[in-house]
Structure 1
Amino acid sequence: MLMAHRETLTGLVREYEELSRTAAACRTPDMLRRLDDVAYTLCVSTGTRDADDALLAARHQLRDAHPGGGSTRVG
């Protein structure tokens, strides 16, 4: 399975989380479309079909890719 570059995955997770928080207060069509786009990219990058599953998979991949076996906190 192809794996997204660590920096790309970190950026996607951060962007998704930020857009999710913003969309909760400001649900414009453009905001929701951007959130959907990022969720889709995150799903493709992690081989999942659901944004929640993609976030979980991304966090696992980032943790496993962290040098020294420590955890990587995102968001």
Structure 2
Amino acid sequence: MLMANPATLRKLVKRYEALRTAHARLGTSESSRHLEDVSYTLCVTTGTRTVPDALIAAETQLRAAPPGFPAEVELTA
């Protein structure tokens, strides 16, 4: 099974949580679209079909990440 980069996964989970909070507060079509986008990306990244499953998979993968894994990784072309 492919595993997401832990730094990327952490960012996705944080972004999901922030957008979920923002959408609960704002309830706009724009906040909904952003939440749907990050939810989709989180599911694809974790190989799941639902957000609750994606969050469980993310937590499991992050716990399994090797200690001292770089917090940030940038890919360049």
| Structure of higher CA gyration radius | 2
Question: Does residue 8 of structure 2 align to residue 41 of structure 1?
Answer: no
Instruction: Give 5+ residue unaligned stretches, structure 1.
Output: 69-75
**Whole-Å Cα distance in 1 between the matches of residues 42 and 4 of structure 2?**
9
Unaligned 5+ runs, structure 2: 69-77
CA distance in 2, matches of 1:3, 1:66: 12
Counterpart CA distance in 1 for 2:34 and 2:15 is 10
The Cα shift of 1:7 comes to 0.5
CA distance in structure 2 between the partners assigned to 1:60 and 1:35 by the alignment: 22
The amino acid of 1:45's aligned partner reads T
> What are the equivalent positions in structure 2 for 1:47-58 lying under 5 Å apart?
47-58=47-58
Take 1:27 and 1:52, find their aligned partners in 2: how far apart are those partners? Answer: 20
TM normalised by structure 2 equals: 0.83
Question: Paired residue for 2:27?
Answer: 27
Moved over 4 A (4+): none
CA distance in 2, matches of 1:38, 1:27: 16
| Whole-angstrom CA distance in 1 between matches of 2:23 and 2:45 | 22
Deviation track 1:29-64 (CA, whole Å, cap 9, x = no partner) reads: 111001000000000000100011101110110011
Partner Cα separation in structure 2 for residue 10 and residue 18 of structure 1 = 12
CA RMSD of aligned residues (A): 1.2
The answer to which structure, 1 or 2, has the higher relative contact order (CA under 8 A, 6+ apart) is 2
